[in-house]
C-alpha cells in the first residue's frame, strides 16, 4: 500500500503545479536600428543638404553674373577697295548698343548704327559725285583677353546693312541706288573702364552686284 501511495502522489500534485502562474517574462527591449543604418541615413541627409546648398549657391551666382547694359557709340569710317574708288570721303555715324553677360566673360552685343558719307569730289571719267549712307543691324560677340573684362578684346559680328547711294553727274539727272547686303565684321577693341571703350573694325560686304562696301571703322562706345 505504501508503495502505491508513493507512485500516486506526483499525479495528485500535478493539477496544483499546473495551476500556478508561470514566471512573468521580461518585456523585450524595443529593437533599435543598426548603427550602420543610422549612419547611412545621416550621411544621406548631410549629402542632400550639401548638394542643395551647392545648387542654390550656383543659382545665385548665375543670377548675379547675368546683367545687361545699354550704350551709345560714335564712329568714323574710311572707305576701302571698290568703295574708296567710288567715294573717297570719311564717313561718320551714331549707334546704339545692347550688351549682355550670361554667366561668363563673353559680351553678347546687338548693334544698330546709322552712317553717312558726304558727297565727295568728282571721280572717274564721268566725274560723278557720290553720297552714301547706310543703316546697319549686327549681332556681335566680344571676347575679352582678361577675366576682369577690362583691357583688350576681340570682336566678331554678322549683320545686314541697308545701303543708299546717290550719284550726280555734271550734266545729267541724279541717280539713286538702294540695296540690302550682308556685312561681316572683325575687329579689336580696348575697354578702358566698365563704361568706356574704343574699337577698330573691318567691315566687309557688298554694295551692288559688282562693287563691295569694305570699310575700316573706329568707334568710341559708352555704356550705361
Q: What is the pLDDT of residues 160-169, one digit of tens each?
A: 999 998 888 7
- Paired strand residues for 219: 75, 199
Q: What is the Cα–Cα distance from 36 to 107, expressed in whole angstroms?
A: 52
**Residue 155 and residue 110: Cα distance in Å, rounded?**
12
Is residue 151 one of the residues assigned to a domain?
yes
Mean pLDDT of the region 87-105: 88
Q: What is the pTM of this model?
A: 0.66
- CA atoms 45, 51, 57, 60: torsion sign: negative
Q: Which of 158, 112, 116 is CA-nearest to residue 136?
A: 112
- CATH number assigned to the domain comprising residue 72: 2.40.160.20
Number of domains in the chain: 1
Strands 107-117 vs 151-168: parallel, antiparallel or unpaired: unpaired
CA atoms 69, 75, 78, 82: torsion sign: positive
CB within 8 Å of 186: residues ≥ 6 apart: 155, 156, 157, 201, 202
Domain assignment of residue 91, yes or no: yes
Residue 35 within a domain: no
Query: Is 193 within a domain?
Result: yes
Its domain, for residue 106, covers: 67-223
Mean pLDDT of the chain: 78
In a domain, 98, yes or no: yes
174 in a domain, yes or no?
A: yes
Q: Are 173 and 142 in contact (CB under 8 A)?
A: no
Q: Write down the pLDDT at residue 194.
A: 92
Does 44 fall in a domain? no
Mean pLDDT of 204-216: 84
Helix, strand, coil abundance in the chain, percent, nearest 5: 25, 50, 25
The C-alpha cell 559708352 sits at: 222
* In the predicted structure, residue 47 carries a pLDDT above the cut 60: no
Task: Determine, yes or no, domain membership for 179.
Answer: yes
Q: Reply yes or no on whether the pLDDT at 26 is more than 90.
A: no
Lowest-confidence range among 58-62, 78-82, 126-130?
Answer: 58-62
Amino acid at each position: 500500500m505504501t508503495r502505491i501511495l508513493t507512485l500516486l502522489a506526483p499525479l495528485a500534485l500535478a493539477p496544483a503545479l499546473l495551476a500556478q502562474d508561470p514566471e512573468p517574462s521580461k518585456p523585450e527591449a524595443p529593437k533599435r536600428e543598426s548603427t550602420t543604418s543610422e549612419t547611412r541615413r545621416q550621411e544621406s541627409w548631410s549629402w542632400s543638404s550639401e548638394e542643395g546648398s551647392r545648387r542654390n549657391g550656383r543659382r545665385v551666382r548665375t543670377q548675379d553674373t547675368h546683367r545687361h547694359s545699354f550704350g551709345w557709340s560714335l564712329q568714323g569710317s574710311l572707305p576701302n577697295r571698290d568703295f574708296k574708288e567710288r567715294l573717297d570721303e570719311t564717313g561718320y555715324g551714331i549707334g546704339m548698343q545692347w550688351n549682355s553677360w550670361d554667366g561668363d566673360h563673353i559680351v553678347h552685343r546687338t548693334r544698330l548704327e546709322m552712317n553717312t558719307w558726304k558727297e565727295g569730289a568728282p571721280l572717274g571719267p564721268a566725274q560723278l559725285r557720290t553720297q552714301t549712307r547706310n543703316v546697319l543691324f549686327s549681332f556681335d560677340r566680344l571676347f575679352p583677353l582678361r577675366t576682369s573684362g577690362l583691357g583688350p578684346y576681340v570682336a566678331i559680328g554678322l549683320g545686314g546693312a541697308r545701303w543708299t547711294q546717290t550719284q550726280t553727274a555734271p550734266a545729267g539727272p541724279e541717280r539713286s541706288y538702294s540695296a540690302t547686303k550682308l556685312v561681316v565684321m572683325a575687329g579689336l577693341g580696348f575697354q578702358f573702364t566698365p563704361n568706356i571703350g574704343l574699337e577698330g573694325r573691318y567691315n566687309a560686304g557688298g554694295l551692288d552686284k559688282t562693287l563691295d562696301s569694305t570699310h575700316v571703322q573706329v568707334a568710341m562706345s559708352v555704356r550705361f
